[in-house]
Structure 1
Amino acid sequence: MERIPVYLISGFLGAGKTTYLNHFIRSRAPKRIFVIENEVGKVNVDSSLVFSGVEEVLELTAGCLCCSLNDELLDVLEEVSARRSEFDELVIETTGIADPGSIAKVFLGIPGVERIFELRHIVAVVDAGQVLHWLEETDEARRQIAIADFLLLNKTDLVDETELPTIRKALKGINPYAELYEGTQGQFPIGEYIDKRPLAASGMERLQEELEGHSHHHHDISTFTLEFERPFVLEGLGYELVRLLQLYSHQVYRVKGIIAVQNLATKVILQSVRDNLILTDGSAWELDDHRISRVVVIGKDLQQAPIEKLFKRHLAANS
């Protein structure tokens, strides 16, 4: 049976997540959507959420999904799974202070969940008028941007056009590989990206041309790309990468890339969200492909040298 698509919507306080959620749901008609809305301390569901296209809205208010409510989230997912014939898609709107990586881990790191749900992508809604302030003041806003597959720059009509280049540069400085869209009142060209699957192998392969060896640094967020000419020896690599992610669990937000493996004709797609690692088969290398492995690492206060050294330990010997 086909897995249930999951869309994770994050964004800092006041960015316009709920407005975007309304627009998203309308654009998905006639699909039946189950919405999980997480607002700390919120009592009632926003009435604007309840309109045609939403099969059910479940509000989790006891705390933030990224920490205290993961057990409750698992209970909800079990319920959705039991009623999977009633829904076409699942949408999760996080609280403004949530770390979406912790929520994504549930879908990428728990086999029982991963078999039933497919995390399609992670969206970060960004308030154009406030983002530079929040980037200076909070780790949460930086994490949300760093881990997103799509950045939705909202309320662009409320800032001077001359400020937009600075804002775009700041966002790309944190996450140069996310696709950036701009809009107002939570309205974006959803049709352009809704069917893209950055977390799937095919989506990762589309990034191959963008993964060029350079690095970015914005405040304490580091982004760098590692390139390796020699193929990897797969034995032991997965264990070593898991150890790396555990060692840097509070610093590494995302790892994603395509690697060449010795004696393997297909590409291997490598990605992580927080300390969950996924290795999947990609397409076959073409005969004329230059089999260069490229891996992007995004995180906080990262030093490239020790991470690169770890990868190099698993390269095949020179022939």
Structure 2
Amino acid sequence: MSKKFSPIPVTVISGFLGAGKTTLLNRILNGDHGRKIAVMVNDFGEINIDSQLIVSAEQSMVNLSNGCICCTVESDLIEQLHKLISLRERPEYILIETSGVSDPSKVVNTLCYPQFRQQLTVDAVVAIIDADNFSSLDGDRRKLAMDQLSVADIVVINKTDLATTRQVESFRQQWLYPYARVFETQFADIPVELLLGTELFETNHSPSKSGHQCNANCDHNHNQQFATYSWESDQPLSLSKLRHALKQLPENLYRAKGFVYLAESPKHRCKVHLVGSRVEIEKEERWQQMPKNQLVMIGWNNLDAAHLNQALENCYS
């Protein structure tokens, strides 16, 4: 007689490019929760930078790269979920970090397929937003960010230290659904017990709730709306040249992230984050492998790969 298992709770972490999803994921993984967690990370570019940014070594990691989890890599998501629930030592919890251009409603629909009905249960959908940059999104970017919010059970208003009180209040009044549980924070600093084991998804999807609908007929293709450019090199870069190049990027490039090999600090890996006009370059731990540069850039319409390649090669020290 086969052993029966309780459904594994799943939390989906979504949010637009650069909102702080990976920071929030790290907060959860390193929190005092005592759970054996499996993590699925989706990055839109060819290089899965997010999986390298996760600092906890205690969890099982599944990488879903080079495509959007709600479009081109959905079959990979289904395959990897089957593998997780078939493990002899099954995880006690699953976290799915979607890419910044994903619509989480399609991921939720996948989790609710009949094949997973007895195996998985959606605990909550978390949407994290950048309090400072959200108001600057327009057109398709704003629509996508709003789609992410529309399915959220928990909304984390992040980076409040960079936004004004008026910006935060305006966001609350214009964009939040009344049932959403909302937290304001800096550096995604939220107690784990407020995010895991909430069972908010089932509550918010009861028949008495309105406005919280998943779009099962997701016909968008983010590979057409957004463009990505990946760059790798093993030559050291000049910090001043790199800062200048990142400040001169085209307006349709919104997000850049990765690691760089700097001549000024050759023994340490340096992390790069660019969101809108904000650029951060931070020194991390010593290189555990041969130093190299790995950068992923995401924008809309067409990114001029030749121009970006030349701009980065001009940063060689």
Identify the TM-score tier after normalising by the shorter chain. Answer: 0.5 to 0.7
Q: Distance in 1 between matches of 2:55 and 2:197?
A: 24
Report if aligned partners of 2:32, 2:192 keep a CA contact under 8 Å in 1.
Answer: no
| 2:119 aligned partner | 116
* Amino-acid identity (%): 27
What is the CA distance between 1:130 and its match in structure 2?
0.9
Give the direction of change, closer, same or farther, for the CA distance of 1:42–1:33 in structure 2 (3 Å limit): farther
Q: How many residues align?
A: 211
Give the alignment of 1:90-105 within 5 angstroms: 90-105=94-109
Greater share of residues in helix: 1
Unaligned residue ranges in structure 2 (runs of 5+): 218-317
Q: Distance in 2 between matches of 1:190 and 1:81?
A: 23
What is the CA distance between 1:257 and its match in structure 2?
2.9
| 2:216 aligned partner | 275
What letter matches 1:49 in structure 2? I
Q: 2:136 aligns with which of 105, 120, 133?
A: 133
What is the CA distance between 1:164 and its match in structure 2?
2.0
What RMSD, in angstroms, separates the aligned Cα atoms of the two structures? 2.4
Residues 1:43 and 2:47 are matched in the alignment: yes
Q: 2:21 aligns with which of 17, 36, 52?
A: 17
What is the CA distance between 1:190 and its match in structure 2?
3.1
Give the direction of change, closer, same or farther, for the CA distance of 1:128–1:88 in structure 2 (3 Å limit): same
| 1:153 aligned partner | 157
Q: Distance in 2 between matches of 1:42 and 1:62?
A: 4
Q: Distance in 2 between matches of 1:98 and 1:177?
A: 22
| 1:258 aligned partner | 208
Give the alignment of 1:240-251 within 5 angstroms: none
SS in 2 for 1:9: strand
Q: Which has the higher contact order (CA 8 A, sep 6+)?
A: 2
What is the CA distance between 1:183 and its match in structure 2?
0.6
Report if aligned partners of 2:69, 2:77 keep a CA contact under 8 Å in 1.
Answer: yes
TM-score for both structures, normalised by structure 2: 0.61
Q: 2:69 aligns with which of 59, 62, 65?
A: 65
TM-score for both structures, normalised by structure 1: 0.61
Give the direction of change, closer, same or farther, for the CA distance of 1:198–1:44 in structure 2 (3 Å limit): closer
Give the direction of change, closer, same or farther, for the CA distance of 1:271–1:17 in structure 2 (3 Å limit): closer
Q: Distance in 1 between matches of 2:88 and 2:103?
A: 27
Report if aligned partners of 1:126, 1:153 keep a CA contact under 8 Å in 2.
Answer: yes
Q: Distance in 1 between matches of 2:178 and 2:184?
A: 15
- Could you report, residue by residue, the CA deviation over 1:28-69 in whole angstroms, capped at 9, with x for unpaired residues? 543111111000114245434142432x21111131110111
What is the CA distance between 1:104 and its match in structure 2?
0.5
Report if aligned partners of 1:258, 1:270 keep a CA contact under 8 Å in 2.
Answer: no
